[in-house]
Structure 1
Amino acid sequence: MVSVISNVVTGHDDMIHDAQMDYYGTRLATCSSDRSVKIFEVKGTTHTLIADLREHEGPVWQVAWAHPVFGNILASCSYDRKVIIWQEDGHKWKKIYEYANHDSSVNSVCWAPHEYGMILACASSDGSVSVLSYVSDTWESKKITNAHSIGCNAVSWAPAVASGSADGSNNRAGGPVQRLVTGGCDTYVKVWRLEASGEWVEEFKLEGHSDWVRDVAWAPSIGLSRSVIASCSQDRRVIIWVNDSTTGVWHHRELNTFDDVIWHVSWSVTGNILAVSGGDNKVSLWKETLEGEWVCLNDSAAVQNAEQRTL
């Protein structure tokens, strides 16, 4: 059974849109419609506010931690069309970069696998996706224009793996190909590939949803020769997309149709459990059995079923 082990009183004055733990599980970042980003130090069940960041001018939709190899760095995005990158310096948090080259709300930010360097993808309601790279002590940006015709809601990076078709075939330099997945208001899930020329190209357009795609999440690699993406939508459905590297073809199956809009999907670090949250204020956990069936782990019967099938 899943149970609550602690609650965090954030002190936000409005709706909280995102909450993310850092790599080590010692820091919690939250963001809210009150235009603030808050950072808490986590020790057991104790949470201490260490930063209250207020540079945004609108609701803050999402936060994302960079890999600790780059230091304590956090990105946030907002309705104010801005992306802000924050860094901890001597126990104080400060803004180190602000990107304001979108024409509408920035809805999602996601850091690339650290093997590629410090790179951040940003998805916007203006339909474009920006890719920000820290190179030679400066930030450079590239934009995928018209990624989704009526707005882009979510972006997620493929894991950095050395082989396979859709999950990291080698580029001309011998390294893994960088890929992104995006979800948009046009109902499409799209996979993008970075060419040797430095341009991003649309590799696949995945059709299966019938309404706005609210979130996408590329599963971590666990050594299997396949790629897995989860997507969720205004149509109340979650879809699992699977690409077998032997064929290079994406197949999909519906995980479930829920009672309300589904807002977020998130994988466990091992990529075998999917968390789903929606407009009914519920979170459900799903696991794939050895037979390829997806079962819900939120009640005792489902847990027992899953354990029996995975033995």
Structure 2
Amino acid sequence: MFVTKQIESEHKDLIHDVSFDFYGKRMASCSSDQSVKVWDLGEDGEWKCTATWKTHSGSVFRVTWAHPEFGQVLATCSFDRQAAVWEESFGDVGREGVKSNWIKKSILVDSRTAVTDVKFAPKHLGLQLAICCSDGMVRIYECPDVMNISQWSLQHDIQTKFKCSCLSWNSSRMHPPMIAVGSDDNNPSGGGKCQVFEYNDSTRKWTKVETIVAVTDPVHDVAFAPNLGRSYHLLAIASKELKIISLTPLGRDSVIGNQSVVSRFEMKQVASFTDHESPVWRVSWNVTGTVLSSSGDDGCVRLWKANYLGRWKGISILKGDASQTRQDRNFSANPSQNPAGAVSQQSNEELVRMNIKRNSGWPSFNTKKDQGKTYY
């Protein structure tokens, strides 16, 4: 049984994103009030705000945690065309314990338009950070010295030729680095709204290896499933429908003459669901890549899993408060009982996406957010 609790976040505007750290004991929230708040889970199961600060001069769209191997590090992106990297430092001990401060270690200002998403690379790739912008550019930065995260160098510029809304790293160690990028462009003639890029060691460049032409509706979120030894990749796409795409490599990269031949993939749509009966906003996998969660405007979080024949089916539906209308729903799950949390609400005037991630055995639930309050 899930127990719903409410956190008075004290954000003064719409909350765009919520992200849990690797262990699920800390979470960060960001808002259109230009601030970020960090919350810690106490021994009593209650969330306590331990830090709050103004980060950008515009709405903060995303916040994400780096792997704890690199310390307590956050990255944020904003409408002000900037992405920033923050590191926690500890001050004096007060009545309420040690007071933590978050210091801006670096600010990335190469973007000419709003930065719509920011993600740290998998740990085995080192301390790298990918950002995507509404002008169609994906930029990858690297911190050469993990002991000094003030220095970030721009390693790659990737031109997607469409408006970028979201991105996802492939965490597989058995394959070259890979990134999926989605677009929320409403132009139906723009072709496939999801592209896959792969890093080629021979050319030291990122190359577009696939365009998923089956997805022509605006893409709100993409997520690669964790790959624990599979010979293929699974990519979940949140759009008008929920789609799961498998990508099977057909061969290794090779060089013929002076031209590099990049590996191609055999793509197959293994599942497509319209159960939300509304746009799907967020998707997220559990750590083993076997259970997928999705959220949509129907106020529900749905869990999906494949059977032994590889057929994907819904295994659970987590509904919002039945006493509320479809236009004003809230769903939440207690993360102390289930290593995941969720929020879902739709407003007639404005819809704001929210992503709650927990790197744990259960999938994280990703939905939308209301104004000034957080539920879990």
TM above 0.5, yes or no, is yes
Contact 1:218/1:230 (8 A) holds in 2: yes
Question: What is the rounded CA distance, in whole Å, between the counterparts of 2:317 and 2:168 in structure 1?
Answer: 29
Contact 2:300/2:317 (8 A) holds in 1: no
Aligned residue type for 1:46:
E
Q: Which residue of structure 1 lines up, in the alignment, with residue 114 of structure 2? A: 105
Q: Percent identity?
A: 31
Question: TM-score with structure 2 length normalisation?
Answer: 0.71
Contact 1:237/1:254 (8 A) holds in 2: no
Aligned length: 283
Question: What is the rounded CA distance, in whole Å, between the counterparts of 2:224 and 2:32 in structure 1?
Answer: 27
Aligned residue type for 1:31:
C
Q: Which residue of structure 1 lines up, in the alignment, with residue 155 of structure 2? A: 142
Cα offset for 1:110?
A: 1.0
Aligned residue type for 1:294:
W
Structure with bigger RCO (C-alpha 8 Å, 6+ apart): 2
Q: Which residue of structure 1 lines up, in the alignment, with residue 53 of structure 2? A: 53
Q: Secondary structure at the match of 1:298?
A: strand
Question: What is the rounded CA distance, in whole Å, between the counterparts of 1:299 and 1:97 in structure 2?
Answer: 41
Segments of 5+ residues of structure 2 without an aligned counterpart are 91-99, 252-264, 319-376
Question: What is the rounded CA distance, in whole Å, between the counterparts of 1:226 and 1:60 in structure 2?
Answer: 35
Taking only aligned residues, the RMSD between alpha carbons, in angstroms, comes to: 1.9
1:5-48 CA-partner distances (Å, limit 9, x unpaired): 54332121222111111011111111112211110011252111
1:250 to 267, 276, 284: 267
Segments of 5+ residues of structure 1 without an aligned counterpart are 163-167, 169-176, 301-311
Asked if 1:158 is matched to 2:164, the reply is no
Q: 1:106 to 1:299 in 2, by over 3 A?
A: closer
Q: Secondary structure at the match of 1:135?
A: coil
Question: TM-score with structure 1 length normalisation?
Answer: 0.85
Residues 1-311 of structure 1 correspond to what in structure 2 (within 5 A)?
Answer: 3-4=2-3, 6-43=5-42, 44-90=44-90, 91-136=100-145, 137=148, 138-149=151-162, 151-162=163-174, 168=175, 177-184=176-183, 185=185, 186=190, 187-196=192-201, 197-233=203-239, 236-245=240-249, 248-257=265-274, 258-299=276-317
Instruction: From the CA coordinates, give the structure whose radius of gyration is larger.
Output: 2
Aligned residue type for 2:80:
D
Question: What is the rounded CA distance, in whole Å, between the counterparts of 1:69 and 1:51 in structure 2?
Answer: 21
Question: What is the rounded CA distance, in whole Å, between the counterparts of 1:281 and 1:103 in structure 2?
Answer: 35
Question: What is the rounded CA distance, in whole Å, between the counterparts of 1:148 and 1:237 in structure 2?
Answer: 23
Q: 1:299 to 1:54 in 2, by over 3 A?
A: closer
Q: 1:118 to 1:206 in 2, by over 3 A?
A: same
Cα offset for 1:123?
A: 1.1
Q: 1:111 to 1:223 in 2, by over 3 A?
A: same
Question: What is the rounded CA distance, in whole Å, between the counterparts of 1:33 and 1:19 in structure 2?
Answer: 13
